[in-house]
Structure formats: structure tokens, C-alpha cells
Amino acid sequence: MYSNIDSEACLAVMTEYLKKEDTRKRFPHYHPDALIEAISIVLRSNVMKFGDIFVRQITGVAMGINPAPPLATIFFALHEDFIFNKWKQCILLNRRFIDDGLAFWIHQQPFERDEECWKRFQEDINNYHGLEWTFTPRAQSVDFMDMTIHIQNNRIVTDLFEKKMALYLYIPPHSAHPPGVLTGMVMGQVLRIFSLCSRIEDIQRHIKNFHDRLTRRGYSPSDLLPLFEKAARNAEAYLSKSDTEIAADKAKKKEENSKRIFFHLKYHPNDPPSRVIQKLFRECIMQPEGEKPFRDVRNSGGQQIPIERLTICYSTHPNLKSMLSYRKISRRSLKVSSFLKDD
């Protein structure tokens, strides 16, 4: 989607939207002229290096840059809001994640009118600065993102979508990764299964499959069982929370993160474990024996230093993949510029 966006049209649409009085009242935290200028730089001045040449992108939004997802989302959402309001008699619900969209269609009577409405709806969606969307045939079941959605007995049923050719090559236990990687993998995947599956039998099936795949990768069932039990309890507790409780937890976590310091290390299984480093941090920094606790120390401005926790962030050492994979154009090969034709 990014590269197909008309950059000049995008800039014009975003300029009009950001300067509207309603938009400025709703989002008073930004300066419209400064933001429009920043968007203009992103759309008109993107320069990329390829081999020995530099090229400037003359149309589209550059893929891989931070502003690309929100810019593309908002650009089409302004058209989307108008279209779905126009066709509200046919659309029960619609959702979109960047360039993947989903909508529930209300059939019209008679059949001929329904087909005509469906055709005109697609034409309206695609009538926007050259962006063209591919529509799948309407059906009672659809794969959307990482879940499958069914309509059964006038109810929406969801299930986890998995590709048939997926190999499930989870990190094996003998790999040099921190111990917390397995815990995070199990906790995250179990929560994902609980969140996306609406039927208990599907939840049980996917959790069993996940467990079996990990054992085939070499993990011990005796090590996995307590992790899976903890993950299931965590998922049930999280999904039972109200929106207010979840918002409060996020605010609390944000406050805690503001009092956290990060220590980046390359992980090696023979190095001192993280608990040893944490113990040294507490004994030597936070509460040194015979010295003032860190929380009572003031900086040069007389202010308290808001640090209460240490988080150890591990990264991997260079491995065979990073050393041998083809990542850069060899200097010994022909230059990219040699393939360009002179005008």
C-alpha cells in the first residue's frame, strides 16, 4: 500500500485534515504547520542508498520508516469514513489494519439489487487517488490477519489461523538464549490463543498442538507443564479484566517504566546470570552498605533521581547466520551504477 500512495495527494489530504478546526480541537497537542512540514519532508525528500547510487523516491510513502503506518492509515481512513457512512445500510461492521480490511455485509433484496450494491461499493472504495483494493468473494468464513472468522447460527465464531505450510521452528532448548525466552514465548502464545479463539475446544486443541510442537523441538514436558499452567491462569485473569482495569494497569506500568534503567548485554550462558547482576545493583547502587540509599541521592539541580529498577536487556552475539547470510552488495561485484542506461 505504501508505495502505491500518491504522495502529492496524500500531502494535500493530510494538510486539509490537520488544519480543520474540529481536528485541532480534538488533538490540541500538535502544531499543524510543523506537522505538515514534517510530512512534506517524508513524502518529498526520501533518499535511499543502493550499492554505489543514491536515489530519491518521487512517489509513494517509503516503506520501513516510522511515519509510514500511521500516515497510510489516516490517509485512507478519511476516505473510508465517508464511504462506509454512505453504505451504512449494507455494512454492519468494518475493521482495517493498514492494507487488510474486513467488513460484514448485510444482503439486500432482491438478489439483483444486492449484486449491484456490492459492485458499486467496490467501485467507491477504489475511487481514491489511484489506490485499488483486491476484494475476496463474500462468504460465511474468512481468514483475516491471524484468525479465522465464521458466521454460525447468526453468531460470530473466531479461531486461530495457522498456515498449512508453517514449520513452527521454535528456538530449541540448546540454543544460546536467555532462560526467559521460553517463558515469554509460552506466555505470549497461550494468551494469543485465549484471545483469538471463542470456543473452548479450539483453545484446548491449539494449546495441545503448541505443547507438542515444543516437545518435538526438544523441550521437556516436565519443564513445559508448569509454564503452560501459569500461562493459562495469566490469560484467564487478563481477559477477565474490564477496560478500566486494563487502562489502570497500563498507566501503572508506564509510571514504573519511567523509573527504570536499562543495561544492555550480549548474552552468553557462561556469564553471570541476571539475578547476580540484579543483586549487585541492589547492594552496590540502590542500597549500598553504610552509604546513603540511591533514592535519597540528589543531582546537581537538587532533584531526586527517579531510578528504582534495573532491567537487563540481552541481545545475541554474531552467529553463523549473521556472518554468512548475504546482506551487502559485494565490492568485488559490478557496481549498481553500471547497470543504469545513460539517457
pLDDT in tens, 260-274: 999 999 999 999 999
| Alpha-carbon radius of gyration of the chain | 27
Reduce the DSSP state of residue 118 to 3 states and report it. helix
Q: Is a pLDDT exceeding 80 seen at residue 72?
A: yes
Contact 188, 142 (CB under 8 A): no
Beta pairing class for 53-56 and 100-105: unpaired
- What is the per-residue pLDDT for 215? 97
Residue 202 to residue 160: CA distance in whole angstroms? 8
Grid cell at residue 54: 543514491
Q: How far apart (Å, rounded) are the C-alpha atoms in residues 75 and 58?
A: 18
Q: Cα(232)–Cα(294) distance, rounded to whole angstroms?
A: 38
pTM of the model: 0.82
179 neighbors 314 (Cβ within 8 angstroms):
no
pLDDT in tens, 113-172: 999 999 999 999 999 999 999 999 999 999 999 999 999 988 999 999 999 999 999 999
DSSP structure class, residue 15: H
Residue-level pLDDT at 12: 95
Say if residues 214 and 169 touch (Cβ distance below 8 Å).
Answer: no
What cell numbers appear for 110 in the block? 432482491
Q: What is the pLDDT of residues 186-201, one digit of tens each?
A: 999 999 999 999 999 9
Residue 104 in this model has a pLDDT that exceeds 90? yes
Q: Would you place residue 330 in the very low, low, confident or very high pLDDT band (cuts 50, 70, 90)?
A: low
C-alpha pair distances (Å), 328 with each of 3, 48, 317, 324, 334: 23, 15, 19, 11, 13
* Distance, CA of 9 to CA of 11 (rounded, Å): 5
* Averaged confidence pLDDT in the chain: 91
**Four-point Cα dihedral 214, 219, 222, 225, nearest 10:** -30
What was the pLDDT predicted at 230? 97
Once rounded to an integer, what is the mean pLDDT over residues 188-217?
97
Other CB atoms within a 10 A radius of the CB of residue 90 amount to 18
pLDDT of residue 198: 95
Looking at per-residue pLDDT, the higher value among 225 and 341 belongs to 225
- For residues 294 and 243, is the Cβ–Cβ distance under 8 A? no
What percent of the chain stands above pLDDT 90? 71
The span from the CA of 52 to the CA of 338, in Å, is: 10
pLDDT of 327 > 80? The answer is no
State the Cα–Cα distance between residues 24 and 17, nearest whole angstrom.
Answer: 9
* Cα 172 to Cα 169: distance, rounded to the nearest angstrom: 8
User: Over pLDDT 70: what percentage of the chain?
Assistant: 97
pLDDT, residue 229, reads 97
Predicted local confidence at residue 292, as pLDDT: 85
Q: Check residue 88 and give left, alpha or beta (phi > 0: left; psi -120 to 50: alpha).
A: alpha
- Residues 6 or more apart whose CB falls under 8 angstroms from that of 283 comprise 289
Going by pLDDT thresholds of 50, 70 and 90, the confidence category of residue 340 is confident
* Banded pLDDT at 180 (limits 50, 70, 90): confident
Residue 343 has pLDDT above 70, yes or no: no
- Partner residues linked to 89 by β-bridges: none
pLDDT in tens, 266-311: 999 999 999 999 999 999 999 998 888 888 888 888 888 888 899 9
